[in-house]
């Protein structure tokens, strides 16, 4: 079987003859082999090509998966094609180009990381939306930013990329990156001046076709780092999405696009201050409302049923009132239709006991410790008043 993708990575249409057709029970698909194919099977971290086969004597068939088995490229289809039938194969070129942009970008950056920091790429994931590179040494974001610039300079230089199977005697003296200890059929992908790496996947013809390489995330990973990158079309789409986002943030904050981080932190500080002021005001308001309660001499318990208010202010007020009332101080906020949230505090009693009573009476949810419990309850203000009178 001739593997055309090794000869020309931009060959997206080809003629072939069926050399094998059998049914795969587990996959419930037909396994088709051809005398030659441009369909790349999954390998080297790169997902398989997809596309169509157009047999001479039947309708077009979708290629659902492509895998390599015993050096044969197997095309998986829902219907069989008779052996010896001639066909035309067409690859989803957008999918292949996208994968090649990400993969060649990965080689450029991995080569640079290896050359400048001696770190190896020990994991490469090329998904439909995410590309990650795992390096076995910790790397600073600032260092990676410098390499990102160098990688893009390599792209702008539009360096021709070579992919070949060197003879053994050449290979012995060649210094190249490799994840596997292979001894035969080693394909070497060379980006002169930047990277030499063993790789079975199709690559772009020159670095310029990568278009753009952008590092989008860096995080610590197994003693090294995991780096997310986006190349070519994906990088542009990501830029557009982020540009739209920043445009909308800067418009709503009336700040310049490159000053939105400062504007957001200032807004956060202001919000925090307003929240603190609000807590103080609401606590004052609640203490005013609490003046309507029977005095601690008349009743040792206190019950307040109020519309929704700030949790912190309610907690502050309960802390104040438990100094005055020896029994339970309870606040229920909400309404009879949607239910209530509650906080109950006490200086002398175990609030978990009244928590149990509320669960028995109307299946209240919640928990806490002896001095204070909290939860939610679907009940009415009238029922609550009755319970408190009976305490």
Footprint of Zn ion on this chain (CB under 5 A)?
44, 199
> Closest CB to Zn ion among 177 and 214?
177
CB of 139 to Zn ion, least distance (A): 20
Nearest to 64 by CA among 18, 28, 16, 99: 28
Cβ at position 203, least distance to Zn ion in Å: 7
Minimum Å gap between C-beta 107 and Zn ion is: 6
Based on its alpha-carbon atoms, the radius of gyration of the chain, rounded to whole angstroms, reads: 34
Nearest to 15, CA basis, from 92, 94, 93, 90:
90
CA 75 to each of CA 50, 69, 89, 214: distance values in angstroms, whole numbers, following the listed order: 9, 10, 11, 34
Output the smallest distance, CB 239 to Zn ion, in A. 25
Residue nearest to Zn ion (CB): 199
Nearer to Zn ion, 152 or 190 (CB): 190
Closest CA to 29 of 64, 72, 73, 67: 64
Rounded to an integer, what distance in angstroms lies between the CA atom of residue 256 and that of residue 212? 25
Question: For residues 268 and 250, what is the distance between their CA atoms, to the nearest angstrom?
Answer: 15
Residue 46 Cβ vs Zn ion, minimum distance, rounded to whole Å: 7
Which is nearest to 82 in space by CA: 52, 108, 105, 61?
A: 61
For 144: left if phi > 0, alpha if psi spans -120 to 50, otherwise beta; the answer is alpha
Nearer to Zn ion, 199 or 321 (CB): 199
Least Å distance, CB 130 to Zn ion, is: 17
Question: d(Cα 280, Cα 269) in Å, to the nearest integer?
Answer: 17
**Nearer of residues 41 and 334 to Zn ion, judged by Cβ:** 41
- Is 44 or 80 the residue whose CB approaches Zn ion more closely? 44
Cβ 246 to Zn ion, closest distance in Å? 33
The CA distance from 115 to 128, in Å, is 28
Run of H or E residues at 307: none
Q: Could you tell me the CA-to-CA distances from 213 to 157, 194, 232 in Å, in that order?
A: 14, 14, 7
- E-only strand ranges, 25-85: 29-34, 36-37, 51-55, 61-63, 65-69, 72-77
Looking at beta carbons only, is 160 or 308 nearer to Zn ion? Answer: 160
Question: At a CB cut-off of 8 Å and minimum separation 6, what does 279 contact?
Answer: 310, 312, 313, 316
Question: 90 or 187: whose CB is closer to Zn ion?
Answer: 187
The minimum distance between CB 101 and Zn ion, in angstroms, equals 13
Residue (80 or 105) nearer to Zn ion, CB: 105
Q: For Zn ion, give the closer residue by CB, 133 or 199.
A: 199
> Which residues have C-beta within 8 Å of that of residue 230, sequence separation ≥ 6?
102, 131, 213, 214, 216, 238
Q: Is 25 exposed, middle or buried (0-12, 13-18, 19+ CB in 10 A)?
A: exposed
To the nearest whole angstrom, how small is the minimum distance from the Cβ of residue 4 to Zn ion? 19
């Amino acid at each position: 079987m001739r593997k055309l993708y090794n000869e020309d990575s931009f060959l997206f249409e080809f003629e072939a003859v069926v050399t094998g057709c059998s049914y795969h029970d587990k996959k419930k698909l037909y396994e088709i082999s051809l005398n030659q194919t441009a369909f790349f099977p999954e390998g080297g971290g790169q997902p398989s090509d997809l596309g169509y086969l157009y047999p001479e004597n039947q309708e077009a068939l979708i290629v659902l998966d492509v895998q390599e088995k015993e050096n044969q490229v197997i095309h998986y289809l829902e219907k069989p094609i008779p052996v010896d039938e001639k066909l035309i194969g067409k690859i989803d070129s957008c999918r292949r180009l996208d994968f090649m942009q990400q993969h060649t970008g990965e080689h450029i950056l991995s080569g640079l990381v290896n050359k400048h920091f001696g770190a190896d790429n020990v994991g490469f994931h090329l998904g439909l939306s995410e590309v990650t590179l795992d390096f076995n040494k910790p790397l600073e974001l600032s260092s990676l930013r410098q390499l990102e610039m160098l990688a893009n300079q390599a792209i702008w230089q539009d360096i021709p990329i070579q992919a070949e199977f060197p003879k053994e005697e050449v290979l012995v003296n060649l210094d190249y990156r490799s994840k596997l200890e292979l001894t035969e059929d080693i394909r070497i992908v060379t980006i002169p001046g930047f990277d030499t790496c063993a790789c079975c996947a199709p690559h772009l013809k020159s670095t310029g076709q990568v278009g753009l390489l952008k590092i989008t995330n860096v995080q610590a990973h197994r003693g090294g780092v995991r780096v997310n990158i986006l190349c070519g079309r994906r990088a542009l789409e990501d830029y557009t999405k982020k540009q739209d986002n920043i445009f909308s943030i800067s418009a709503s904050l009336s700040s310049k696009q490159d000053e939105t981080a400062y504007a957001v932190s200032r807004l956060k500080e202001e919000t925090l201050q307003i929240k603190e002021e609000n807590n103080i005001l609401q606590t004052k308001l609640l203490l005013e409302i609490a003046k309507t309660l029977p005095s601690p001499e008349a009743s040792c318990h206190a019950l307040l049923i109020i519309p929704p208010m700030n949790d912190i202010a309610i907690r502050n007020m309960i802390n104040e009132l438990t100094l005055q009332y020896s029994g339970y101080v309870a606040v229920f906020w909400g309404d009879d239709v949607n239910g209530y949230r509650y906080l109950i505090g006490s200086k002398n009693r175990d609030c978990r006991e009244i928590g149990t009573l509320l669960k028995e009476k109307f299946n209240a949810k919640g928990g806490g410790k002896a001095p204070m419990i909290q939860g939610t309850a679907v009940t009415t203000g009238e029922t609550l008043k009755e319970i408190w009178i009976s305490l």
